[in-house]
Amino acid sequence: NGTIWNKPAPTLPPSFETVQPWQLSRVLSHNSSLSESELRGPGGTGVNIYMLASGVRASHAEFRRPDGSSRVVPLFGVDGSDPAEDCADSWLWYGYGTYAASLAAGSNVGVAWNATVHSARFRTTCVFESPAIWSPGGLPSAMDAVLSTFQPPGVMVIDTWWSPDRMSYDDDRYIQAALKARLDRAQVLGLPVFVTAGTGLAPPCDNVLATHPATIAVAGVDASNVLSLFGPGNSSCIDLWAPGGGPGSPILGALASADDGYISVVPRGF
């Protein structure tokens, strides 16, 4: 999972009432019979979004309630990391968890703007891959934390992709078995699991994350309904196409390195 830079981090528009992120406009356009206020409605009130990523900056304005408290609940942090913070090296990147969580549940750039975000952090770095992602202390343990605390209604969002032989040190047999066991449990619990489709180098059909009945594999289209920049190699096992950016139509989301920062990028994973 990653990104390409499209332009420097923008300043927050003076009013999201007049300058709406295109991804929200696209969602609204497919529900033309509803007004924006009707579409956003209660904004996911009472819904739990379990975000498995690099941590979520809980202090960001996108997750701030009117009383100043945060809608982000720390759930799990690999190797003692803080799930209420994003990667320390997020300033070199855009911060996976904070950015992804804002698109799902941000007050201004997200759809479920009143949902509760439960942060399960399975990686400690945003820039470099880490064997800890697939170790017992990484993604499988983050999934265990969600499965043991899940309260419906809710969804699990896994902000990474995996493919056999993605990394030379992967134990493919272990990964497949470990993830399948946890996805089986999610299916029993009635917990939908959204996963990124990956990049053109990782066809989604060759791994359990994309093909398990409990998962919904998501890939992106740009503002012209063209496959996102990294999408052409991922078209065979996609369950859901969503605004995913492309040249000229980046996605505006929360920047992990500042409480009031935003960035427009083209996500690679979805």
Task: Give residue-wise pLDDT tens across range 38-77.
Answer: 655 678 899 999 999 999 999 999 999 999 999 999 999 9
Which tokens is 247 given?
Answer: 């040249």
Whether the Cβ atoms of residue 108 and residue 114 lie closer than 8 Å to each other: no
pLDDT attached to residue 33: 63
Q: What is the pLDDT of residues 6-21, one digit of tens each?
A: 333 344 444 444 456 7
Q: In terms of pLDDT, which residue wins out, 194 or 164? A: 194
Q: Which tokens sit at 208? A: 């359990």
| Section 215-219 average pLDDT | 87
What are the sequence ranges of the domains in the chain? 3-11+22-28+45-267
Whole-prediction pTM:
0.86
Lowest mean pLDDT among 146-155, 185-194, 210-219: 210-219
Locate 42 and state its tokens: 């209660």
Query: 3-state class of 211 per DSSP?
Result: helix
44 compared with 167, residue with greater pLDDT:
44
User: Going by C-beta distance under 8 Å and a sequence separation of 6 or more, which residues neighbour residue 141?
Assistant: 76, 78, 122
What CATH fold (topology level) applies to the domain 3-11+22-28+45-267? Answer: Rossmann fold (3.40.50)
Q: Is the dihedral of CA 49, 51, 55, 56 positive or negative?
A: negative
The band of 203, judged by pLDDT with boundaries at 50, 70 and 90, is: low
Q: Pick from 104, 87, 107, 119: which is nearest to 2 by CA?
A: 87
Alpha helices (H) along the chain: 22-29, 36-40, 96-105, 139-149, 172-189, 208-211
pLDDT in tens, 116-157: 999 999 988 877 666 666 667 789 999 999 999 999 999 999
C-alpha–C-alpha distance, residues 228 and 210, integer Å: 18
Task: Give the rounded percent of residues in the chain with a pLDDT score beyond 70.
Answer: 69
Q: Is the dihedral of CA 61, 99, 22, 45 positive or negative?
A: negative
In angstroms, the CA 223 to CA 99 distance is: 19
- Output phi, psi for 240, to 5 deg: -145, 130
CB atoms within 10 A of CB 141: 17
What's the Cα-to-Cα distance from 243 to each of 20, 58, 72, 253, rounded to whole Å?
A: 14, 24, 24, 12
